[in-house]
Structure 1
Amino acid sequence: MILKAHLGLLLWALLVGLSFPAVGLISADLPPMLLTALRFAIAALALWGLARRAPDRWPHGAAWLLYGAMGLCLAGFFAAMFWAAHHATALSMATLFVSVPLLAFLFGLAAGLERRGWRLPLLLAMGAAGALLLAVVEAEGRASVSQGIVFGRGEAVFLLGCMASALYPVLSKWGLARGWLSSSAAVRTFWSLALGGTLIGALGLVVEPVAALSKMRLRDALVVVYLGLFSSAVTFWLQQRATAVLTPAAVTAYGYLVPFVSMLLLFLQAPGRLGWEWLPGSVLVLAAMGLLWRDDALSRLAARNS
């Protein structure tokens, strides 16, 4: 089960990395929040086929509040990302996003889900440094680099979104530990996506022009369906499945591999971009992930032998 969780998160990183080029194929004049709500709706419908088979598919009591909080985390992150994209530089957002595993560790520590110590925060910092180096190299020559890393209103809003993203696996793990959430990863993913999509859709109806959806072309619709099925349904299901056996910090640490996947895709599309400047970030990311896997394996081996 542990090995499946790690392999699943590797697939998660690959799917998330592949989603960025797909998002770029969508027409820029379409409302992003409403598109995300549509994407979440497609994902939830796809997952319902699995979720409805679970005996505990319907939440009870406090579970509704917890699923609502998890959905609010998803809606909060995407809403913050869309708003901040017009008020913050790409490099500043990339810098803040690599803080998510560290934030998840701190939230998990406060909730009693992480073990105290210096080694895990150090490895997470190593992975964050590597991912940031890859983001800087990828953005080299853009206006975002020349503007530098700043912290203003846009960055503050996106930091709140990153905190919401970090809190999502913590709430999932916390609810599982108390028996409030379904034991089925499909059920947990379904309700968080359904409620999150409802929240971000409601916000989109208020701040975005609904009529703009009429401009959607067939290609746009196909990309949204792809993102809903693979970049939402499958990725969040893989994350929820891993959350049942790994800590929030370990789950979110796989986000460091996303810029590494993006780098590999860039090399396939433009081999001329390959250079030594990509090496330091790649080495740091791969070293951090390798050490995290090693520490996880050793700790579980020690637990079995004790």
Structure 2
Amino acid sequence: MNSQSPHYPRTLIHLLMLLMVALIASSFPVGALITSGLPPEVMMLIRFALAALLFAPYVFIRNGWHLPPPRRLLGYAILSIPLVVFFWCMFEALRYTSALNTGAIYTTVPAMTAVYVFFINREATGTRRASGLLLGTLGALWIVFRGDLDSLLQLDINRGDLLFTLGCLFMGTYNPLIRKFYAGEPMELMTFWVISFGALWLLLLSIPGLDQIAWRDVDSNVYLGILYLAVFTTLVSFFLLQLGTIVLGATQVAAYSFLTPVFVLIINLLLGSAVFQWQLLPGIALVLLAMLLVQQEKRFPQNA
């Protein structure tokens, strides 16, 4: 499928990417608060299905009540798979690790994306961008290990960290696949069908355990948390992610995830669930520098 970028001011898109990262970062502490309320696949099923239902009237009134061509539906189905794997891994990982750790590990996604972009989109990575990706990964490691070299050398990581890293490996394919499958359709159309297929896969995963859940015993805060995730960190953030990828390119958009641990830390401090640790500052400085390096390098032309 050929891609044709929508015409939006790049400054506006960059501001929207900051909003996107803030929303994504908020999903880690919110997810940590509700992760024990329901099985991860069931929680994500409700999240995706609710987002699709809320978005459906807007999408169909604006674009008509018809199915996309089979080839596009196949593309949307493929696009939804990395998201399902990523979010399942995230919620399962938050049972064993912290929101700050997952936020820091998420900053490895740009480096993974750069590798996938080379093979999927045939986009080269320049020296400055490669340096930024390396610095961002080092900064993420610094934050995960709190600047403790002994812990790093001993690979003091838990089951949750490993599981979320697997999810990030899948998430790294998402941005380049958007570039590959985007065919000039309205962004809201792509967003809706990707979320809908995600809900379908999650339904298939959840069916065996749905009748074993005591729905009335689930804390109301769990449902409120899922509602927040459905609207802000699913519906809104997916739309912004896809729009930014088409306009700016996969690697530049992925580079914004370098800011995720910074936003996670700020949110946790505001919620009173974390205490600022000065040893995190070098890692934060590295991820900020990494993002600037990646954003400043001009994007290489892509071969569709």
Q: Is the 8 Å Cα contact of residues 134 and 260 (structure 1) preserved in structure 2?
A: no
CA distance in 2, matches of 1:219, 1:151: 27
Give the Å deviation of 1:232.
0.7
For residues 25 and 92 of structure 1, do their structure 2 counterparts lie closer, same or farther at Cα, with a shift above 3 Å needed?
closer
Aligned partner of 1:252 in structure 2 is 254
For residues 239 and 39 of structure 1, do their structure 2 counterparts lie closer, same or farther at Cα, with a shift above 3 Å needed?
same
CA distance in 2, matches of 1:99, 1:25: 24
DSSP-derived class of the 1:25 partner: helix
CA distance in 1, matches of 2:274, 2:73: 52
Of the three residues 274, 283, 286, the one matched with 2:285 is 283
CA distance in 1, matches of 2:201, 2:123: 30
Q: Is the 8 Å Cα contact of residues 102 and 125 (structure 1) preserved in structure 2?
A: yes
Q: Does residue 1:241 correspond to 2:250, yes or no? A: no
Aligned partner of 1:73 in structure 2 is 82
CA distance in 1, matches of 2:65, 2:144: 42
Query: For residues 207-231 of structure 1, what are the alpha-carbon distances to aligned partners after superposition, in whole Å with 9 as ceiling and x for unaligned?
Result: 5664243322332222211111011
Structure 2 alignment gaps of length 5 or more: 1-7
Give the Å deviation of 1:145.
8.6
Aligned partner of 1:41 in structure 2 is 49
Q: Is the 8 Å Cα contact of residues 131 and 260 (structure 1) preserved in structure 2?
A: no
DSSP-derived class of the 2:124 partner: coil
Q: Does residue 1:109 correspond to 2:118, yes or no? A: yes
Of the three residues 174, 177, 181, the one matched with 2:180 is 174
**Partner amino acid, structure 2, of 1:123:** G
Q: For 1:3-42, what aligned pairs fall within 5 Å after superposition?
A: 3-26=11-34, 28-42=36-50
Q: Could you state the TM-score of these two structures normalised by the residue count of structure 1?
A: 0.81
Q: Is the 8 Å Cα contact of residues 51 and 57 (structure 1) preserved in structure 2?
A: no
**Partner amino acid, structure 2, of 1:196:** G
Q: For 1:56-95, what aligned pairs fall within 5 Å after superposition?
A: 58-83=67-92
DSSP-derived class of the 2:146 partner: helix
For residues 32 and 275 of structure 1, do their structure 2 counterparts lie closer, same or farther at Cα, with a shift above 3 Å needed?
closer
- How many residue pairs align between the two structures? 289
CA distance in 1, matches of 2:90, 2:25: 17
CA distance in 1, matches of 2:196, 2:112: 25
Give the Å deviation of 1:14.
0.8
Taking only the aligned residue pairs, the percentage that are identical comes to 28
Query: For residues 172-216 of structure 1, what are the alpha-carbon distances to aligned partners after superposition, in whole Å with 9 as ceiling and x for unaligned?
Result: 11112xx2xx52111111111110121022112235664243322
Give the Å deviation of 1:170.
1.1
Give the Å deviation of 1:106.
1.0
Give the Å deviation of 1:22.
2.2
Pick which of 210-219 and 146-155 moved more.
146-155
Q: Is the 8 Å Cα contact of residues 103 and 261 (structure 2) preserved in structure 1?
A: no
Give the Å deviation of 1:235.
0.7
CA distance in 2, matches of 1:153, 1:279: 24
DSSP-derived class of the 1:114 partner: coil
Q: Is the 8 Å Cα contact of residues 37 and 219 (structure 2) preserved in structure 1?
A: no
For residues 70 and 34 of structure 1, do their structure 2 counterparts lie closer, same or farther at Cα, with a shift above 3 Å needed?
same
Q: Could you state the TM-score of these two structures normalised by the residue count of structure 2?
A: 0.81
What is the Cα-based RMSD across aligned positions, in Å?
A: 3.3
**Partner amino acid, structure 1, of 2:286:** L
Aligned partner of 2:4 in structure 1 is none
Of the three residues 123, 129, 144, the one matched with 1:120 is 129
Give the Å deviation of 1:24.
3.4
Aligned partner of 2:206 in structure 1 is 204
Query: For residues 128-158 of structure 1, what are the alpha-carbon distances to aligned partners after superposition, in whole Å with 9 as ceiling and x for unaligned?
Result: 22233223339x8xxx999843598983x65
CA distance in 1, matches of 2:281, 2:223: 37
